Amino acid sequence: MPTLLEMRGITKTFPGVKALDNVNLTVEQGEIHAICGENGAGKSTLMKVLSGVYPHGSYEGEIVYDGGPLALRDIKESEAKGIIIIHQELALVPLLSIAENMFLGNEIAKNGVMNWPKAFKEAEGWLKKVGLTEPPSAVVGKLGVGKQQLIEIAKALAKDVRLLILDEPTAALQENDSAKLLDLMLELKAQGVTQIIISHKLNEIARVADRVTVIRDGTSISTMDKHEITEDRIIRDMVGRDMANRYPERKPNPGDVLLEVENWSCWHPEQVGRQMIKGVSLKVRKGEIVGIAGLMGTGRTELAMSVFGRSYGKNHSGTVKMHGRVVDVSTVTKAIDAGLAYVTEDRKGLGLVLEEPIVRNVTLANLFGVSKGGWLDKHRETQVADGYRKQMAIRTPGVQQKVVNLSGGNQQKVVLSKWLFTDPEVLILDEPTRGIDVGAKFEIYSIMKDLAEQGRSILMISSEMPELLGMCDRIYVMNEGRIVGEVSGAEASQEKIMGMILKEGRAA
């Protein structure tokens, strides 16, 4: 197969940081090439160099594309050459229709006047190609993330794509949507579209990729052919060492029942008559790690947030007990006082004040712990934050660093520190390792293990089944706002949990 793209010796320096150091990447015509690496390894920077976000001249090294040198000035030029990147954060305008989004910046128009009939007709064709049956006039914001992702791809196809770059396309998708997307990638490959996929999900890479290039610390480490690809080898190259065990060794020793949620229900905050949580009951013992499995959108986050100070939904009913006594969790403050903590799945949106330093984020939920009569003791505050920095191994020059500058793993440790400073008995961790690289994941798991050994209880919500299986003593399975099953950690398997979800789905 001829080579479509060759990037040779790419080096990109930011003030004080070498983001890319002599990276080589070769992509053959018509293949699916996966790029793996921890967060911050330089994958995104490399793709920005390729797509013209960083113009020619702002980096060293050379790019050969389609037999000729590539010297891009901006994204527009890269798109003209058929290089199209679909970012992790989708770039669709939610209030516009599918057709309007699809031709945004690429309008079918004459002298600035849109030809809508033609646009709709063409949109319909592209939608069919990606397997969507929605009318082109449908408003994008009302569709699920999975469908939006497909619209992004349709949009790329409409631009006559030759090299499609997908940055973590399945990060926000449920399993069946992910499967659909991967199928589409294979289909596009059959039609001759060359693709680069950036992903953390090794099973997906194994499924679709023809070759894999691993990047670590801004350098390309290795490129594997199809027959060489194994998860272990990818991980080893990513973290630079063998990961014999992806989960820490635990000796579970659950005590008495600590948290009990009984017959908990709540309704959607806006849509009248839509019950989101339907009589959920669950128990968590002292020192136990309990998982909640389920597909996205089945109400796990809604359950956690509604219990935590009614932060979600309305018309709540049911009781919450701690140590067998009913506790008032009607506001966040009361929930915190009762011994609960909720670590959100949306770190940046709901967990952190990004523009503030680490120290201010750590103490935010317990300012009373560093103040007297409303008066802050800033030095005590610094001490507290610095203590957590050491304990959690938050990698940063100091606690005055703004959290926006930290990597995902370090940000998560800041959020965990914030909640540990409230001294909770039960921590609800919602997708605690989402968007975190393999090495940092292990650190988060180790912290969880330590917390459980200290006698704290953990309720972990996760869409990654292996981590539930690897960490939990017991797993509840949720579907459509109900608990549909419960398995002990020893008996649990992916098949068993999926079976519970699917069986329920058929019965309903």
Partner 1 sequence: MADKSTGHLGAHLRENGMLLALVAIVALFTVAIAYDGKSFLIPPNISNIFLQNAHVIILALGMLLIIVAGHIDLSVGSVAAFTGAVAAYLTVTLKLPFYVVIPLTLVVGGLIGAAQGYWVAYWRIPSFIVTLAGMMVFRGATMWMLGGQNIGPFPDEFQALSSGFVPDLLGVGKPHGLTLLVVVLAIGAILWSGLRARARDAEFGIEPEPMAFFWGRNAIVAAGIAFVGWQLANFRGLPNVMVVLTVLTLLYFFFTENTTMGRRIYALGGNEKAAKLSGIRTDRLVFLTFVNMGVLAALAGMVVTARLNSATPKAGTGFELDAIASVFIGGASMTGGSGKIVGVVVGALIMGVMNMGMSILGIGNEYQFMIKGLVLLAAVIFDVVNKAR
For 432, phi then psi, to 5°, come to: -65, -15
- Using CB under 8 A as the binding rule, whether residue 398 contacts partner 1 is answered as yes
The answer to whether 149 and 91 are in contact (CB under 8 A) is no
Which of 395, 455, 494, 503 is the binder for partner 1 (CB under 8 A)? 395
Beta strands, E only, 238-388: 257-267, 275-285, 289-293, 314-322, 325-326, 340-343, 371-372, 375-376
How far is 441 from 460, CA to CA, in rounded Å?
14
Interacting residues with partner 1 between 194 and 253 (CB under 8 A) = 217
How far is 489 from 229, CA to CA, in rounded Å?
30
- Here's the x/- map for partner 1, 38-67, by CB under 8 A: it reads as x-xx--------------------------
How far is 297 from 276, CA to CA, in rounded Å?
10
Strand partners, 142: none
- Here's the x/- map for partner 1, 286-325, by CB under 8 A: it reads as ----------------------xx-x--------------
How far is 214 from 36, CA to CA, in rounded Å?
5
CB of 440: closest distance to partner 1 in angstroms? 10
- Here's the x/- map for partner 1, 343-382, by CB under 8 A: it reads as -x----xxxxxxxx---x---xx-xx--x--xxx-xx--x
Interacting residues with partner 1 between 324 and 343 (CB under 8 A) = 331-333, 335-336, 342
Would you say 129 or 380 has its CB closer to partner 1? 380
Which of 397, 454, 506, 508 is the binder for partner 1 (CB under 8 A)? 397
Q: Which long-range contacts (CB under 8 A, 24 or more apart) does 327-336 make?
A: 332/308, 333/309, 334/309, 335/307, 335/308, 335/309, 336/309, 336/365, 336/366, 336/422, 336/424
CB of 182: closest distance to partner 1 in angstroms? 29
* Total residues in contact with partner 1, by rule CB under 8 A: 51
CB of 300: closest distance to partner 1 in angstroms? 16
Which of 396, 412, 417, 479 is the binder for partner 1 (CB under 8 A)? 396
CB of 344: closest distance to partner 1 in angstroms? 6
Quick one: which segment of 104-112, 120-128, 205-213, 405-413 binds partner 1 (CB under 8 A)? 405-413
**Tokens linked to 271:** 């849509």
**Tokens linked to 252:** 């579970």
Beta strands, E only, 173-313: 194-198, 211-216, 219-225, 257-267, 275-285, 289-293
How far is 59 from 149, CA to CA, in rounded Å?
30
Give buried/exposed letters for 230-254 (b at 16+ CB in 10 A, else e): eeebbbbbbbeeebeeebeebebeb
- Using CB under 8 A as the binding rule, whether residue 407 contacts partner 1 is answered as yes
Which of 3, 13, 219, 401 is the binder for partner 1 (CB under 8 A)? 401
Binding site for partner 1 (CB under 8 A): 14, 16-17, 38, 40-41, 217, 308-309, 311, 331-333, 335-336, 342, 344, 349-356, 360, 364-365, 367-368, 371, 374-376, 378-379, 382-383, 386, 395-398, 400-402, 405-407, 410, 418
